[in-house]
């Protein structure tokens, strides 16, 4: 019997796994897909908020403030790139000025240091690309940006190094109460655990139904993004939003870690829990909203669009609690924006709940004295200074061969991404871990080589290599 089964390997499931690996527990994470980090965790704005709009009367508000406090230390421990970036919330008329003042008061009440309203001149000096008609702006220091999937990979690798098992392609299809725990049914068989943590994102309500309850439902919303080529002479140094974002959901302009500017998200309710399609209509809406902030956005330099699904909960707040119908089942449901920011705090909150459950069972949670808090990232060839590259290649010959020319990713990095635990098992898994395929040509050149490296390292035929999830084979050995 496992001590803990975690359902879902997004940033919440992996953060919980890593937090619980600090204790002597037998833990497994079950993920229905072929890769980890393939739900909301891979398709979001990557903003680490400082809680300027957080409502401390809500669990989400409290966890945002706590999560922000914990975030940078966690990134340092796990060698995850975090860049502090201030946010500018801009306004263009009197109504906007009033909204900005309201935002300032809320942020001040939340104890956000350094928050202040900038004049038009100050705003334009900081961001020359802003439209001339800008009236005022709220400067909100203390936010940041990350690659959200990188945090998820790092959490998973560190959890695995500390003994957590990851079972991919393992969808949970049923739950049943046992005398001393819960039976978790998957297509590959049934597992038993003392406690189960439901971190299934958009499917958390489906897991709840498996426990015989309909106490909440998830109301999915799809958010679409456009990414600009980093060669675009449109570089911003703040995360920028129109102050209407609270009411009308303006898009953000986000400077990513890799000098691309990302625009989004547009938001629309959807009944489809699987479709991550982008549409011309939403892209048009998104650009219209962005152009209100800066009319100089080079629309012709969009190299990629993508969409993510938000798991809004009918409860109206994060719902992190033990099921009333199934003892030992903890839900982490409705973890929508800013769930990435909150993830370290959610993990600590759930670890406390597990301690209470263990207490109730008359068991003690014992510290894992062998817990290793650190993990190192894959060394990027691009980050090695020119005069050290030769020496690095002597020691690591795989770094002598560039596979992705746009992002200068080497064979050595790609092989390492596949051989980590849990490692990349698809083209997209390699792309997210190394950036091969993220550049201007979007994998046009390196795609075949990455596919062949995956085939070699995984011991599969090229035709069996997936783009990401099951059914996404790239090649066929039979002619139609």
Applying CB under 6 A, the residues found at the interface with ligand FAD are 7-13, 30-33, 38-41, 44-47, 49, 171-172, 199-203, 223, 265, 308-310, 335-341
Cis amide linkage into residue 405, ω under 30° from 0: no
C-beta of 46 vs 423, nearer to ligand FAD: 46
In the bound complex, what is the minimum distance in angstroms from residue 419's beta carbon to ligand FAD?
A: 22
Nearer residue to ligand FAD within complex by CB, 9 or 354: 9
Choice between 278 and 410, CB closer to ligand FAD: 278
Taking the complex as a whole, how short is the minimal distance between the CB of residue 309 and ligand FAD, in angstroms?
A: 6
Question: Toward ligand FAD, which CB reaches closer, 148 or 412?
Answer: 148
Sequence-ordered list of residues with C-beta below 8 angstroms from that of 114, at least 6 positions apart, any chain = 139, 141, 142
Cβ nearer to ligand FAD, comparing 278 with 451: 278
Please say which residue, 205 or 411, places its beta carbon nearer to ligand FAD.
Answer: 205
Residue closer to ligand FAD by CB (options 403, 425) is: 425
Least distance to ligand FAD, CB of residue 47, Å = 3
Q: What is the 3-state secondary structure (H, E, C) of 302-349?
A: EEEEEEEEEEEECCCCCEEEECCCCCCEEEEECCCCCHHHHHHHHHHH
The answer to whether the CB of 390 falls within 8 A of the CB of 4 is: no
Least gap, CB of 438 to ligand FAD (angstroms): 18
Residue 44 or 136 having the CB closest to ligand FAD: 44
CB of 121 to ligand FAD, least distance (A): 29
Residue with tokens 């001040």: 108
Q: Measured between alpha carbons, how far is 177 from 184 in angstroms, rounded to an integer?
A: 9
Within 13 Å and on the Cβ side, how many CA atoms surround 212? Answer: 7
Dihedral sign from CA coordinates of 288, 289, 292, 294: negative
| Cα 85 to Cα 70: distance, rounded to the nearest angstrom | 17
Report the nearest approach of ligand FAD to the CB of residue 133 (Å): 27
| Residues near 69 by beta carbon (within 8 Å), at least 6 away in sequence | none
Residue sitting closest to ligand FAD (CB): 339
Compute the distance between CA of residue 286 and CA of residue 479 in angstroms, rounded to an integer.
40
CB neighbour list of residue 367: distance below 8 Å, 6 or more residues apart: 22, 23, 24
Minimum distance from CB of 474 to ligand FAD (Å)? 21
Residue with tokens 């399609």, as numbered in its chain? 277
Cα-Cα end-to-end distance for the chain: 48
- Closest contact distance (angstroms) between CB of 287 and ligand FAD is 16
- Of the pair 347, 414, the CB lying nearest ligand FAD is at 347
Which of 377, 423, 367, 420 has its CA nearest to residue 19?
367
What does the longest C-alpha to C-alpha distance in the chain come to? Answer: 68
Residue 228 CB-half CA count within 13 A? 26
- Smallest gap from Cβ 310 to ligand FAD, in A, equals 4
Closer by beta carbon to ligand FAD, 254 or else 453: 254
What 3-state DSSP class applies to 173? strand
CB 218 within 8 A of CB 203: yes
From the CB of 206, what's the least distance to ligand FAD, in Å? 6
């Amino acid at each position: 019997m496992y001590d803990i089964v975690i359902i879902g390997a997004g940033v919440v499931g992996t953060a919980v796994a890593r937090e619980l690996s600090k204790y002597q527990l037998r833990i497994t994470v079950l993920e229905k897909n072929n890769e980890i980090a393939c739900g909301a965790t891979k398709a979001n704005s990557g903003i680490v908020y400082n809680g300027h709009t957080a409502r401390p009367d809500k669990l989400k508000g409290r966890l945002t403030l706590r999560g922000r406090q914990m975030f940078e230390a966690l990134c340092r421990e796990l060698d995850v790139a975090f860049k502090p970036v201030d946010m500018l919330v801009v306004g263009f008329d009197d109504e906007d000025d009033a909204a900005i003042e309201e935002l300032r008061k809320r942020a001040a009440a939340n104890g956000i240091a350094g928050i202040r309203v900038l004049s038009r001149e100050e705003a334009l000096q900081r961001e020359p690309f802003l439209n001339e008609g800008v009236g005022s702006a709220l400067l909100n220091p203390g936010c940041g940006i990350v690659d959200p999937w990188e945090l998820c990979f790092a959490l998973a690798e560190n959890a695995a190094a500390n003994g957590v098992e990851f079972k991919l392609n393992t969808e949970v299809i049923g739950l049943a109460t046992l005398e001393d725990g819960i039976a978790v049914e998957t297509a590959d068989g049934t597992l038993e655990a003392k406690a189960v943590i439901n971190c299934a994102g958009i499917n958390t309500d489906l897991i709840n139904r498996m426990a015989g309850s309909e106490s909440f439902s998830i109301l999915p919303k799809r958010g679409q993004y456009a990414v600009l080529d980093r060669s675009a002479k449109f570089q911003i140094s703040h995360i920028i939003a129109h102050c209407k974002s609270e009411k009308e959901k303006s898009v953000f302009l986000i400077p990513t870690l890799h000098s691309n500017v990302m625009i989004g998200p547009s938001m629309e309710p959807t009944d489809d829990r699987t479709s991550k399609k982008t549409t011309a209509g939403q892209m048009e809406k998104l650009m219209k909203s962005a152009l209100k902030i800066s009319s100089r956005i080079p629309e012709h330099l969009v190299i990629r669009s993508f969409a993510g699904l938000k798991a809004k909960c009918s409860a109206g707040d994060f719902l992190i609690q033990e099921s009333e119908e199934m003892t030992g089942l903890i839900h982490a449901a409705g973890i929508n924006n800013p769930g990435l920011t909150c993830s370290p705090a959610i993990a600590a909150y759930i670890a406390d709940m597990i301690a209470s459950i263990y207490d109730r069972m008359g068991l003690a949670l014992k510290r894992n004295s062998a817990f290793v808090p650190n993990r190192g990232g894959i060394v990027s060839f691009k980050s090695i200074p020119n005069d050290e590259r030769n020496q690095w290649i002597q020691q690591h010959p795989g770094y002598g061969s560039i596979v992705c020319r746009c992002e200068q990713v080497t064979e050595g990095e790609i092989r390492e991404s596949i051989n980590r635990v849990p490692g990349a098992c698809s083209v997209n898994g390699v792309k997210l871990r190394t950036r091969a395929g993220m550049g201007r040509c979007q994998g046009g050149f390196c795609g075949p080589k990455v596919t062949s490296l995956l085939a070699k390292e995984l011991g599969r035929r090229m035709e069996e290599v997936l783009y990401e999830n099951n059914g996404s084979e790239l090649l066929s050995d039979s002619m139609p």
